[in-house]
Amino acid sequence: MVFACLEGAVFHSGLYARIIEPESTTGDMELMIDNEIQRPKPNPNQILAVGHSRQALLPRIANRMTLSTGYTFASIGLGGTTPRDWYYALRTVDPDARNYAAIVIPEDDYNEPDLWEDQSDRESDLHYLIARLGIEDLVDFPLTYATPARRWAAFEGILLKGTVYKRDFQEFLDHPVARVEKAEFFRKGSASWFYDYGGDERTLAGLQIDWKKRTARFPPNVPEAEQKRISGELFQDDPPEQGRETAYRLLWYRRILARYHGTRTKIFFLRVPRAPLPPPEEPTNPNSSVRQLAGDPNVVVLDEHLLDSLERPDYFWDALHLNREGQFKFTEIVANAVREKLGPPAGS
C-alpha cells in the first residue's frame, strides 16, 4: 500500500513529469505539449503541424504570412515520433477537438512502402507518451502493440510508471537540485527556443546521385563519415512488402479522424520532400491509408508533387532533412496551400 501510494503520488500525479530530464524522449514531448497548451489561441484560425523530424514547417516563418493567410501556425512536430504519438499528443493539446482549423500531418511517401521496423511495435512510443497515459489507457494502448512482450511492457509501464522512469529517477536522485533547476529553466525558455529555431545551415549543394548504380558523389564539405551515413540512408534495400505500414497508419489516422468527426477541423496530409534529388517514381499504391481516407469530408490530401521543387541538394543537409533555406521555402509553400484549401479564415 505504501508503494502504491508513492507510485501514484509521484509518477501518476504528473508531479515527476515536471522534473523529468528535459533533453530526454519524455522531456522533449512534455515541453512541446505544455508549450502548445499554454500558447494563446485568441481566435479559431489556428493551424497545428504534427509529425516527425521531416515535418519542416517553421511557425515563425508561417506567422510572418498571417496578414495574407489569416491563420496562425504552431507545431508539435518532434523527431522520432510516429502516428501513434501524434494521436495521443492531439488528444492532450486539443481535448475538446475544437482548438484548430486544421491539423497538418506529414507523409514520407503516399505509397507507404513497408519499413524494416514494425512501427506498431516501437518501444520508444511508450517513453514519448508515458506522462500522458493514464489508467484509462491501461487496456487500449498496450493492445495497439504487435507482440506480447511489447504489450506487457506497455501495460506494466502505464500501471507502474516508475518502471519507465527508473533510469531517469536514478539520475535525478544523483543531482536533484541541478535537475529541478534545469527543468525549470527549460520550461521557462523552451517555447521561445523552439519558435525561434531557424533550421540547419549545412547544405549538400553539389551532390550528384546515380539511382541506378546506387552511388553518390559528395561535395568536399561533407565529412567521410557523414557521406557513408547519407549513402546508407539513400540506397538501403526495401523489405518484402506486406502492407504493414499502411495498416499501421490506417489505424491511427482513423483514430485521429474519429476525434474530429463532425467538427470544423480539417486533417491535411502532406508528402514531404523525399530526397536531395528526385528518386525513381514507384507504382502508385491505390490502397495506401492516405488514398483510402481521401474521400472523408474532414480530409484534405495535398498534391503529392506540391514540394517536388525542394528535392534539390542545396535544400537538404542530409539524406532526409531540409536545411534552413529548404525549411523556409517548405513553410511558405505549405502555408499558402493550406490557406488555399481552407479558404478565408473565420470572422474575415
Confidence of residue 314 (pLDDT cuts 50, 70, 90): very high
**Is the predicted pLDDT of residue 153 greater than 80, yes or no?**
yes
Cell of 50: 504534427
**Is the predicted pLDDT of residue 348 greater than 70, yes or no?**
no
In 3D, which of 337, 307, 273 has the Cα closest to residue 71? 337
28, 58 contact by CB (below 8 A): no
Q: Are residues 106 and 129 in the same domain?
A: no
Q: Are residues 31 and 88 in the same domain?
A: no
Domain boundary among the residues 134, 164, 199 is at 199
Query: Percentage of the chain with pLDDT > 90?
Result: 92
Q: 305: phi > 0 → left, psi -120 to 50 → alpha, else beta; which?
A: alpha
Look at strands 208-210 and 102-107 and give their pairing: unpaired
Q: Are residues 93 and 133 in the same domain?
A: no
Q: What pLDDT score was predicted for residue 214?
A: 95
Mean pLDDT to the nearest integer, 192-212: 95
Angle (CA) 186-157-114 rounded to 5° is 85
Residue with cell 483514430: 255
Q: Which amino acid is at 320?
A: L
Q: Are residues 295 and 170 in the same domain?
A: no
Confidence of residue 11 (pLDDT cuts 50, 70, 90): confident
Mean pLDDT to the nearest integer, 253-274: 97
Confidence of residue 347 (pLDDT cuts 50, 70, 90): confident
Q: Are residues 248 and 315 in the same domain?
A: yes
CATH number, domain with residue 262: 3.40.50.1110
Residue 184 lies in a domain: yes
Task: For the chain, give the number of residues.
Answer: 348
Enter the DSSP assignment of 237. P
Residue 51 lies in a domain: yes
Q: What is the pTM of this model?
A: 0.95
- In this structure, the number of other CB atoms found within 10 A of the CB of residue 125 comes to 25
Distance between CA atoms of residues 145 and 48, nearest Å? 27
**Is the predicted pLDDT of residue 264 greater than 70, yes or no?**
yes
Q: Are residues 254 and 227 in the same domain?
A: yes
Give the number of domains in the chain: 2
Q: Are residues 244 and 321 in the same domain?
A: yes
Mean pLDDT to the nearest integer, 195-209: 95
The rounded radius of gyration (Å) of the Cα atoms in the chain is: 21
Confidence of residue 119 (pLDDT cuts 50, 70, 90): very high
Q: Are residues 157 and 296 in the same domain?
A: no
Mean pLDDT to the nearest integer, 13-27: 93
In 3D, which of 45, 56, 36 has the Cα closest to residue 270? 56
For 191, the domain range is 1-38+124-199
